[in-house]
Chains A and B, each alone.
Chain A
Amino acid sequence: MPNNLHRNSGYNDLTSEPSICLQVSSLSAGYGRSQILKDVSFCAKQGGITGLLGPNGCGKTTLLRALCRQLPFTGSCLLNGRPLEQMTSRQLARQISYIPQRSGIAISMPVIDVVLMGFNPVLCLLEQPSRAQKEKARGALRAVGMEASAEQDYQTLSEGQKQLCILARTIVEDASLLLLDEPESSLDFPHRHRIMELLTEIIRGQDLSCANCDVSSTAINEATHNVSANTSNPNAHRFSNTSGDTARNTLSGSSSDQQTLFPRKAALVTLHDPQLALEYCSRLVLLKDGVCTAILHPATDSLPDMEAALSEVYGPIRLRAFEENGRRSLILLPRG
């Protein structure tokens, strides 16, 4: 239903227009003869989390796999303006960081080694990670609060800690597009929010791994602009809707004067939990039976519109909103 695709085309949730990181146009993909995704179009912008929502089997994972070029697809996918199919695997690995539902690390290894894997796309075949890279990996572990476990066996970690460790790997990978496949599915409540908060910080370009790296002056300018927008009360928006263009600083609020930023990234996340999606995503792509039924902007779209769109995917639901610190939070309830 193409007339539904951009039912809220007049959105204006971003003060300065961030550039498009991923542009997907009429993408179709599937396994063998069975076509699962049909004519899906959307874009993911820098500095925001784009959520993919839908019931099981609607094609969320298929979409991510197609973007990782593990499935043949038709249609066009532009990553930073370049067609995906024109890139070499190595270029793709440098630009995209993929975080599976559960990392498939099957053998014992120290946590720091898992993080160091993130440097593989920039290392030569026989090259070993340098001292600076090891330092950076430790910084990334510090950023996710896992520095004390650096030498611990990855297999002995809890699921939540494993995901944090994989996020640290994503930080060192420094890719421009992050693809996450249901990162919250096996996590408990605090870890879910921790992961999504960290993800928000990563894509907003806060360089979490080291405070004194060299970055281009344009990035710093952009950084100061973003940080100054919202440093007055760093913890005010914990667990809150993060759409819009404000940079939060929940993680390292004390060191904001030293904050240096990388150019910003975009994230495309499939999520099981629509509540979590409404809280953290600046843009939601709703999928049903392989078709994109709507694209929502939780910060600005009207409640009835979103309620109707979500009901179409999840069955009848109610959406309630409340204001806190001047921003709207949304609660999803079953229609009782």
Chain B
Amino acid sequence: MRTEQKQNAKQNTRPAPYLSALLLLAACAVSLLAGKYPLSLEKILAGDAMQLQVLLTLRIPRTLMAVLGGFALGAAGFVFQTVFRNPLAAPDMIGVSSGASAGAAFAILFLPASAAAVTLSAFAGGLLAVGIALGLASAAGGYGARRNPAAGSGSIVLAGIAVHSLAQTFLMVLKLTADPERQLASIEYWIMGSLNAITLGRIPFYCAVCVIGLTGLFLLHRQIILLSVDEAEARMLGVPVGRMRLLILLLATLVVASVISVTGVISFIGLLAPHIARLLTRDNRLRTLLLSGLLGGILLTAADILARTAAASELPVSIFTSLLGAPFLLYLIMNGNGGGRHAE
């Protein structure tokens, strides 16, 4: 009886990826048409030059970035949570996002303005953050050869909080040195997270980096799941734990950095999307990773639509992702099990 119910539940969740793909397409359609300058399908089809112009130069790049950015944050969130064996280890919780944004801000201020410089600097910042967080966590006994089960995987989140405030301090120093006339406002606005500044010309580079990283993560899905097993056990299953973890963290950080260097910090999507995906599928197969990405895309696209339609002036998108994310985080803490992830 019980297994029968389980199987029924299983069959009910099977179409989840397809449904969310449809939902994502619907969100895209709304995102293409909604905004300060409303577009209508008839006028576009009639060949209205102004409408076409807005669609091509503003809406399409923006929607594309929302979908890809959300997808990347959701998928990377799944990877970080799985590899760190912690349901709270989303990129913005363990300091990757703030590290990357500090790196990107550094590039905006001091490096020649180019997409590659910003992305690379964000990537370096994100990596540095992961490295410091891992170092702190293993010093506290959470990781590495002398992994102390009592310290648990919670230490990576504590270390992440420390790294997050470190990165914030660095950002503050950067802001102090910024030119208040020209640079300060733009950095400030960018940190708040927005898809406002996207133009067609900036898209290809970031998309390429992001897609390469995501492809790697999808190909390595089986290894990502194996890394969620205890280190000693994984090693005896033939996983080169140290190297594999490094490779996967590099790819996931690259993905996050490529998004953040365009959009600024977007909070909670990397936490929220994988959790909903896991609640829907209750396994951690490839479709759960895919679903994390799709849900991330839906969340960010929806938040972006709200950001540009809710008020007279455009709002930072993080306001809406946080409005969704903060209650959900509370729910996770009160449930204490991270959506059925942990047995203990």
Chain A residues near B (Cβ < 8 Å)? 31, 65, 68, 70, 89-90, 92-94, 96-98, 100, 103-110, 113, 117-118, 120-121, 123, 125-126, 128, 148-149, 151-153, 155, 173, 179
Contacts and interface: CB of A to CB of B under 8 A. Distances in A.
Instruction: Tell me whether chain B's interface is mostly helix, strand or loop, or mixed.
Output: loop
Contacts of B228: 105-107
A93 B238 contact: yes
A93 B235 CA distance: 7
B340 A108 contact: yes
A120 B3 contact: no
A128 B153 CA distance: 28
Contacts of B6: 151-153
Nearest to B231: A104
A113 B221 CA distance: 13
Contacts of B175: none
B90 to A, nearest CB: 15
B179 interface: no
B284 A107 contact: yes
B82 A107 contact: yes
Contacts of B282: 108, 153
Contacts of A98: 232-233, 236
B15 interface: no
Contacts of A118: 237
A104 B233 contact: yes
A70 B235 contact: yes
B7 interface: yes
Contacts of A125: 220, 223
Contacts of B173: none
Contacts, number: 102
Interface string B229-260: 11111011111100000000000000000000
A153 B233 CA distance: 19
A91 to B, nearest CB: 9
16 contacts: A65-B232, A93-B237, A98-B232, A104-B229, A106-B229, A106-B342, A107-B342, A108-B278, A113-B225, A120-B222, A121-B237, A125-B223, A152-B3, A153-B282, A155-B340, A155-B343
Given A104-B231, A106-B228, A179-B236, 19 more contacts: A31-B146, A90-B238, A93-B236, A98-B233, A98-B236, A103-B233, A104-B232, A106-B85, A106-B341, A107-B225, A113-B285, A120-B237, A125-B223, A126-B220, A128-B222, A148-B3, A149-B3, A153-B340, A155-B343
A172 to B, nearest CB: 11
Interface of B: 3, 6-7, 10, 82, 85, 145-146, 153, 219-220, 222-223, 225-226, 228-233, 235-240, 278, 282-285, 340-343
Given A68-B232, A89-B240, A117 B226 contact: yes
A107 B235 CA distance: 18
B341 A70 contact: no
A106 B343 contact: yes
Contacts of B343: 105-106, 155
Nearest to B247: A125
A74 to B, nearest CB: 18
A100 B230 CA distance: 9
A111 B93 CA distance: 30
Contacts of A123: 222
Contacts of A151: 6-7, 10
B236 A97 contact: yes
A204 B223 CA distance: 32
B26 to A, nearest CB: 29
Contact of B236 (A68, A108, A109, A148): A68
A266 to B, nearest CB: 16
Nearest to B339: A108
A107 B275 CA distance: 12
6 shortest interchain CB distances as A-B pairs: A104-B230, A93-B238, A121-B238, A98-B236, A106-B85, A155-B343
Nearest to B216: A126
Contacts of A94: 238
A73 to B, nearest CB: 14
B341 A107 contact: yes
Contacts of B341: 106-108
B235 A113 contact: no
Contacts of A103: 229-230, 233
A117 B229 contact: yes
Contact of B283 (A105, A106, A153): A153
A123 B225 CA distance: 15
Contacts of A179: 236
A70 B342 contact: no
Contacts of B342: 106-107, 155
Nearest to B240: A89
Nearest to A127: B222
Contacts of A104: 229-233
